[in-house]
Copies of this chain bind each other. A is one copy, B any other.
Amino acid sequence: MKPVKVGICGLGTVGGGTFNVLKRNAEEISRRAGRSIVVEAIGARRENPDCDTKGTHITADIFEVARNPEIDVVVELIGGYDIALELVLTAIEHGKHVVTANKALIAVHGNEIFEAAQKKNVMVAFEASVAGGIPIIKAIREGLSANKINWLAGIINGTGNFILTEMRDKGRDFADVLAEAQALGYAEADPTFDVEGIDAAHKLTILASLAFGIPLQFEKAYTEGISMITAEDVQYAEELGYRIKHLGISRRTENGVELRVHPTMIPEKALLANVHGVMNAVLVDGDAVGQTMYYGAGAGAEPTASAVVADIVDVVRTLTADRDNRVPHLAFQPGSLSETPVLPVEDVISAYYLRLNVNERPGVLAMVTSILSESGISIDAIVQKETHEDQVPVIILTQEVQEKQMDEAIAKIEALDDVNEPVTRIRVEHL
């Protein structure tokens, strides 16, 4: 079957990431999608130094891509409102499926775009428009479709969360952290969209429509940023057992749907209170499922590309498969499963916690540590606990070692006269 041909418009951060992910993971992606995906053309005014685009047609005219008769899917990654809208409508008009990461476009012009897409029977996908790589749109639109959703609340702007996290961790002021975020590239030169909550309101508008089945109404969202939060507020909140997070909240009430973005004090033990730095998370409360949460990187080249490419795969699967086999049972096409063996546990590498009960006699610890050393196992920490009925619990944390080496060492340790019980071992992982 011939490849699906994609045109990427915009080769900035996300466009570059999308190009690179499609290229690097081409083999795995085609095993999942059931068909190869090829970037047929790129519409961009300049090259991206992170991309090796040799062999791919590049044009400065993005509309040439949208009209290119060879192209099946147009990926809009130029951002902004007007030209993006014109581009997407042109692509739809020419019968292309569209994938976009543009939250502003969807929040403000989505209703119009979806109507046009339905008339022309093409797909428009926008997973990357909210919370970057977290598949939150799919979760709400499909995964939670059984539920009457009560409310959702999310940290959906990474820049704002980075600033608030730094203010809390280091007692710094807003302006100070913002300047650093700009230097690090986390915040735009004009940070208004991020710090005044507009970006979050775009995303919340989209999530609320998915959750409550209302048309997109960005103009009705209440939007308040974080620029008025002081280091003192952060500290006082902390003293009261709270943290300040910039949240988008949408809740179903008797009189209407709340749609609001603002700094919010939440209990320090709340899951959302523990989402730090540039990470995003969305908490959704449904009447059947209760609370579920979705966490991950909300921005950045490849996390956002992850969602863009997932949308492309969705489109390709729909174009390619029989109706009843759109998504393969095991994610990969049945004929494309891998022969990679399952690793026997003896070959697994892991660090270990060991607990031994030894008799209180000189020299026992020396014997144990020399067995470990002879087996090539390095010790990270060793702690002798209080003696209890002439026995001493000894705790050992090891560095990483292959399980079979550990099996041998433990057998030797258990054979020692002064080691009294089977050794307890618990694997240690630094996830």
Question: Residues of A with Cβ closer than 8 Å to B?
Answer: 17, 21-22, 24-25, 28-29, 31-33, 97, 110, 114-115, 117-118, 121-124, 127, 132-135, 138-148, 153, 209-217, 220-222, 228-230, 232-233, 236-237, 239-240, 242, 244, 247, 249, 252-253, 255-260, 262-267, 270-272, 274, 283, 286-297, 302-303, 305-310, 312-314, 318, 322-332, 334, 336-343, 345, 347-348, 353, 355, 381, 383, 385, 393, 395, 397, 424, 426-431
CA distance A144 to B22 in the complex (A): 13
Q: Of B220, B252, B332, B395, which contacts A213 at CB under 8 A? A: B332
Closest chain-B Cβ to A245's Cβ sits at a distance in Å of: 9
Q: Are A309 and B145 in contact (CB under 8 A)?
A: yes
CA distance A314 to B138 in the complex (A): 12
CA distance A232 to B302 in the complex (A): 43
Q: Are B295 and A25 in contact (CB under 8 A)?
A: no
Q: Are B342 and A257 in contact (CB under 8 A)?
A: yes
Residue in chain B with minimal CB distance to A319: B323
Q: Are B262 and A289 in contact (CB under 8 A)?
A: no
Q: CB-CB < 8 A to A424: which residues of B?
A: 228, 230, 233
Q: CB-CB < 8 A to A302: which residues of B?
A: 287-290
5 further A-B pairs in the complex, CB-CB below 8 A; given A146-B313, A294-B294 = A24-B148, A97-B324, A143-B307, A222-B345, A271-B274
Q: CB-CB < 8 A to A232: which residues of B?
A: 355, 393
Closest chain-B Cβ to A166's Cβ sits at a distance in Å of: 17
Q: Of B237, B258, B323, which contacts A318 at CB under 8 A? A: B323
Q: Are B256 and A343 in contact (CB under 8 A)?
A: yes
Q: Are B145 and A331 in contact (CB under 8 A)?
A: yes
CA distance A264 to B186 in the complex (A): 35
A interface, by DSSP: helix, strand, loop or mixed? mixed
Residue in chain B with minimal CB distance to A143: B135
CA distance A287 to B424 in the complex (A): 35
Q: CB-CB < 8 A to A21: which residues of B?
A: 146-147, 288
Q: Are B240 and A395 in contact (CB under 8 A)?
A: yes
A255 touching B214 in the complex, CB below 8 Å, given contacts A289-B303, A313-B142, A430-B267 = no
Closest chain-B Cβ to A387's Cβ sits at a distance in Å of: 14
Q: Are A145 and B267 in contact (CB under 8 A)?
A: no
Q: CB-CB < 8 A to A426: which residues of B?
A: 229, 233, 237, 244, 262-265
A429 touching B266 in the complex, CB below 8 Å, given contacts A142-B314, A329-B124 = yes
Q: Of B32, B213, B287, which contacts A25 at CB under 8 A? A: B287
Q: Are A257 and B215 in contact (CB under 8 A)?
A: no
Residue in chain B with minimal CB distance to A135: B143
Closest chain-B Cβ to A380's Cβ sits at a distance in Å of: 10
CA distance A371 to B24 in the complex (A): 64
A340 touching B214 in the complex, CB below 8 Å, given contacts A121-B322, A272-B431 = yes
CA distance A322 to B318 in the complex (A): 11
Q: Are B114 and A265 in contact (CB under 8 A)?
A: no
Q: Of B28, B135, B211, B348, which contacts A260 at CB under 8 A? A: B348
Q: Are A295 and B271 in contact (CB under 8 A)?
A: yes
Q: Are A428 and B296 in contact (CB under 8 A)?
A: no
Q: Are B153 and A337 in contact (CB under 8 A)?
A: no
Q: List 15 contacting pairs A-B, 8 Å CB cutoff, sorted by A.
A: A29-B146, A114-B334, A135-B142, A139-B143, A213-B331, A222-B345, A222-B348, A228-B424, A236-B383, A265-B429, A270-B430, A289-B297, A289-B307, A292-B297, A318-B324
A428 touching B139 in the complex, CB below 8 Å, given contacts A21-B146, A124-B329 = no
Q: Are B429 and A264 in contact (CB under 8 A)?
A: yes
Residue in chain B with minimal CB distance to A322: B121
Q: Are B429 and A247 in contact (CB under 8 A)?
A: yes
Q: CB-CB < 8 A to A114: which residues of B?
A: 329-330, 334
Q: Are A141 and B327 in contact (CB under 8 A)?
A: yes
Q: Are A381 and B138 in contact (CB under 8 A)?
A: no
Q: CB-CB < 8 A to A393: which residues of B?
A: 232, 236
Q: CB-CB < 8 A to A292: which residues of B?
A: 133-135, 294-297
CA distance A209 to B236 in the complex (A): 48
